[in-house]
Amino acid sequence: MIMLIETHSHLDDKQFDADRDEVIARAFSGGVKKIINIGAGLGSSWRSVDLAEKYKDIFCAIGLHPHYFMEYGEKSFDKFDEFKTLSPSKKLVAIGEIGLDYFIPDGGMITEEQKKLQKKGFMLQLELAKVLKLPVILHCRGSRPVAPSIYRETEDSYEDIFEIISKFSELNFVWHSFGGRLEFAEKVLKKENMLFSFSGNITYSKPNAEIFEVLRKIPIERIMLETDCPYLAPVPMRGKRNEPSYVKYVAQKIAETKRLEIEDLAKITTGNAEKFFGI
């Protein structure tokens, strides 16, 4: 059986409350070797640490998602000391998901003020990653899709993140669920401390979509696999609740796109994740 590493789960999500242990057991018996559970706020970072301490092969990341800063505004920063108390966990392997999210639902537009707030929160956490010598999982969403039907976004947040993290050359980064265009991917590829991870949304695209050009361009040594569960279930599970065992569908799609044997892809991406997270 091929063995994969699921680098981006939200197993602490309430959608798993009824059957979390079964979901985890299904992953480990179905070819998932290790799981990184991601923090996306203060509560979920706490839960992520708890989960990692309970299961030997689950590791955790802690992070305050840009939505957290949008929700709590300046008050978010009052919680930063509490957030830092999570850092001694031995299972902590990364800071994330953190970054910039410029998408405002219902046709709204992000303000400069809101961008400033997100950037402040992002940079505080990059400083923490530097102190803790941990890699960083990036969340990035542009303010608008270029067109609703294609897998493409405006790159305002991408450019802003790139500019900020270029000042942190001692840190390693992964662009989670990467959705940037080819030209942007090429720019990221020039930075050796930056990796990419892909989730189920690559299985939604039409065969001629730019994402496949992006995938072909990125060497497999720079790619990690993820589900982002419970969101973004890959085809053929699209529309259902996503779970770590579905990471195999993401692996298959990448192998098919890059014309690699699934065994080779598994071996290399697993090695990438073990090295990146030090696990």
> Minimum CB separation from Zn ion for residue 222, in Å?
20
Residue among 36 and 255 whose Cβ is closer to Zn ion = 36
Nearest-angstrom CA–CA distance, 200 and 37: 17
> Minimum CB separation from Zn ion for residue 29, in Å?
24
Residue among 13 and 213 whose Cβ is closer to Zn ion = 13
* Phi, psi (deg, nearest 5) at residue 64: -105, 110
Residue among 12 and 228 whose Cβ is closer to Zn ion = 228
> Minimum CB separation from Zn ion for residue 152, in Å?
20
Q: Which two tokens stand for residue 75?
A: 């008050």
Residue among 162 and 230 whose Cβ is closer to Zn ion = 230
Residue among 212 and 230 whose Cβ is closer to Zn ion = 230
- Chain position whose Cβ is nearest to Zn ion: 228
Nearest to 225 by CA among 259, 260, 270, 192: 270
Interacting residues toward Zn ion by CB under 5 A: 228
Collect all residues with Cβ–Cβ distance below 8 Å to 245 and sequence separation of at least 6.
23, 26, 27, 30, 31, 32
Beta strands in 83-206 (DSSP E): 92-101, 136-141, 173-175, 194-198
- φ/ψ region of 241 (left if φ > 0, alpha if ψ in -120 to 50, else beta) reads beta
| SS3 category, 269 | helix
Residue among 99 and 272 whose Cβ is closer to Zn ion = 99
Beta strands in the chain (DSSP E): 4-9, 32-37, 58-62, 92-101, 136-141, 173-175, 194-198, 223-225
> Minimum CB separation from Zn ion for residue 264, in Å?
27
> Minimum CB separation from Zn ion for residue 103, in Å?
14
Given the structure tokens 């569960």, which residue do they identify?
229
Residue among 43 and 107 whose Cβ is closer to Zn ion = 43
> Minimum CB separation from Zn ion for residue 176, in Å?
6
Q: Which two tokens stand for residue 202?
A: 């690559």
3-state helix, strand, coil in the chain (%, to 5): 45, 15, 35
Helix axes 247-258, 210-217, angle to 10 degrees: 80
> Minimum CB separation from Zn ion for residue 237, in Å?
17
> Minimum CB separation from Zn ion for residue 60, in Å?
13
Alpha helices in 10-72 (DSSP H): 20-29, 42-54, 66-72
Residue among 70 and 262 whose Cβ is closer to Zn ion = 70
